[in-house]
Structure 1
Amino acid sequence: MSTLQFPTRLPADLLVELGELTGIRWNSWELEPIICEAIRRYMHPPAAPAREQTSTTSDAGYQWKQVYLPDGTRLRASFGGQPHFATVTGTEIKSGDLALTPSGFANLYGSGNRNAWKAVWLRFPGNEQWVLADVCRAKQKAAIARLFGGADDVAAD
């Protein structure tokens, strides 16, 4: 490899920052290979790691008004202090052998007048966080409003 000998000017604050990052003083010749490698990586960035594709990717899921629950979404509701669970399987919400609507699940063990948006928590595939269905609905309504030019009034359900 040939080396061209000509001065290159770099801002002192950039060299100080690089020195702090590497632990090498900014006025040291030891920074040269680090600077060269940074330039090479800028010109030829490493390939992004291939995203893992699952063979079970599908469009199956349950459409609950504005909120889409993809296949594998978990639902949780508590009845008398006991948690109960359901799962979106294909295009149905299943609790055991029962296929239910979100309202049916919310009222499965209750008095029959629970609001599913306020009683059901959701955990989407690949996510460990449980989110109240009503929060998902509010976020989706806001996204829909932005999509249509920030309309303040999205049709109520």
Structure 2
Amino acid sequence: MKHTHRVYLELNYQMRKREDLRSEEEITLIALQEWMARNYGQPTSHGYQWKDLFLPHGTSLRICHRGMCYFAEVEGDLLIADGKIVTPNSWAEEVCGSVRNAWRDIYIRRNYREGWTHASSWRAAAGERPKQPGINRRRRARRITD
């Protein structure tokens, strides 16, 4: 219970410091809605639109290049990497040092319970959960021989 009290004291301090006139209840409700959207995939009005793919607030992006992994996250309506606002293409170019195909190099994880999936797989699935590699190979092979 004392941890909860500390959180509310910090919330009060931050609200006064920024002259935020909203109530604690209002801020708590916003925080809970964002937490549910991030962890349970509830619809959210905030996110980054990357061509045909919508990345909701809280989505993580990763590029692995030369043995190192670099991360970016969707915060509100912006894609943030290393504290800077970026686009997927400019971020991939900055990390790799050359012009890259961001769809091929970036992996996406929409919430902590999912694994990392290629952005191109998300794009091909038009924003729905992409099919895992190898699932449709058998079906395609069957159709060829029919």
- Asked if residue 127 in structure 1 is aligned to residue 105 in structure 2, the reply is no
State the alpha-carbon separation in 2 of the partners of residues 61 and 142 from structure 1. 15
- The CA RMSD measured in Å over matched residues stands at 2.3
Higher helix share: 2
Percent identical? 32
Q: State the Cα distance separating 1:79 from its structure 2 match.
A: 2.0
Q: Aligned runs of 1:4-153 on 2, under 5 Å?
A: 54-56=32-34, 57=37, 58-140=44-126
1:86 maps to amino acid:
A
> Which residue matches 2:10?
none
State the alpha-carbon separation in 1 of the partners of residues 85 and 78 from structure 2. 6
Instruction: Specify which structure has the bigger relative contact order, considering alpha-carbon pairs within 8 angstroms and separated by 6 or more residues.
Output: 2
Instruction: Give TM-score, length-normalised by structure 1.
Output: 0.53
Count matched residues: 91
> Which residue matches 1:149?
none
| Larger Rg belongs to | 1
2:72 maps to amino acid:
A
Instruction: Identify if the C-alpha distance between structure 1 residues 81 and 94 changes in structure 2 by more than 3 Å, giving closer, same or farther.
Output: same
Residue aligned with 2:111, SS: coil
| Structure 2 contact 70–95 (Cα < 8 Å) conserved | no
State the alpha-carbon separation in 1 of the partners of residues 95 and 102 from structure 2. 13
Instruction: Give TM-score, length-normalised by structure 2.
Output: 0.56
Runs of 4+ with deviation above 6 angstroms? none
Structure 1 unmatched ranges of 5 or more: 1-53, 144-157
Structure 2 unmatched ranges of 5 or more: 1-31, 38-43, 130-146
State the alpha-carbon separation in 2 of the partners of residues 141 and 62 from structure 1. 12
Q: State the Cα distance separating 1:113 from its structure 2 match.
A: 1.1
State the alpha-carbon separation in 2 of the partners of residues 141 and 55 from structure 1. 22
State the alpha-carbon separation in 1 of the partners of residues 127 and 71 from structure 2. 26
State the alpha-carbon separation in 2 of the partners of residues 97 and 78 from structure 1. 19
State the alpha-carbon separation in 1 of the partners of residues 70 and 90 from structure 2. 13
State the alpha-carbon separation in 2 of the partners of residues 91 and 141 from structure 1. 17
